[in-house]
Amino acid sequence: MDFEIRPATAEEYDTLGEITARAYLGDGFLDFGEDDSYLQELRAVARRAAAAEVLVAAADGGVLGGVTFVPRGGPMADIARPGEAEIRMLAVAREARGAGAGEALVRACVDRARSVPGCARIVLSTQRTMHSAHRLYERLGFTRTPDRDWNPLPELDDITLLTYELTL
């Protein structure tokens, strides 16, 4: 499948938000399903685009998936420290999986991080059950950083996000 990686347009925000929400829901990554408060974050692409870079994989006039790239700090950064960029909310529509769009989106983020002055690493958080994503990150040279694992909902003991980094 031929696709391009480019910045999302405002006209694509709703589509990408729904792709992201459906990917997380469909794969069982939202602990509280349709009632999970994170679902609104996943759908809020316009808000992400105002604070970071939102990239899409697009083909034949349609969006296949997307990712949020945080070049440095700000409201979209969860774990990035000074000198680090961050990847957030990578998702590919179920029907487009296996064609390389997810890998291309991650590679685009790595390329962007390399162009950020003073950026030495790119980091990300992932759920324990996102095994396909873990394999992708490791194949691209990311390494686990267990000392940075964290819980976005400290009031719930069993939600721990795993972290990865790639030194640029």
Asked if residue 134 has pLDDT above 70, the reply is: yes
pLDDT band at 29, cuts 50/70/90? confident
Q: Give the residues across from 162 on adjacent strands.
A: 126
CA dist., res. 49 & res. 97, Å (int): 24
pLDDT tens digit string along 73-95?
Answer: 889 999 999 999 999 999 999 99
Asked if residue 154 has pLDDT above 70, the reply is: no
Asked if residue 136 has pLDDT above 80, the reply is: yes
Question: Which CATH topology does 4-167 take?
Answer: Aminopeptidase (3.40.630)
For 87-112, what is the mean pLDDT? 96
Q: CB within 8 A of 78, min separation 6: which ones? A: 86, 88, 125, 150, 152
Q: CB within 8 A of 118, min separation 6: which ones? A: 83
- Which phi and psi (to 5°) does residue 7 adopt? -60, 140
Written as six digits, the tokens of 87 are 């990847």
Asked if residue 32 has pLDDT above 80, the reply is: no
Asked if residue 111 has pLDDT above 70, the reply is: yes
For 7-17, what is the mean pLDDT? 98
The position carrying tokens 């030495």 is: 120
SS3 string, 78-114, reads CCCCCCEEEEEEEEECHHHCCCCHHHHHHHHHHHHHH
Asked if residue 133 has pLDDT above 70, the reply is: yes
Helices (H), ranges, the chain: 13-26, 38-43, 45-51, 101-115, 131-139
| All structural domains of the chain with their residue ranges | 4-167
CA dist., res. 21 & res. 40, Å (int): 8
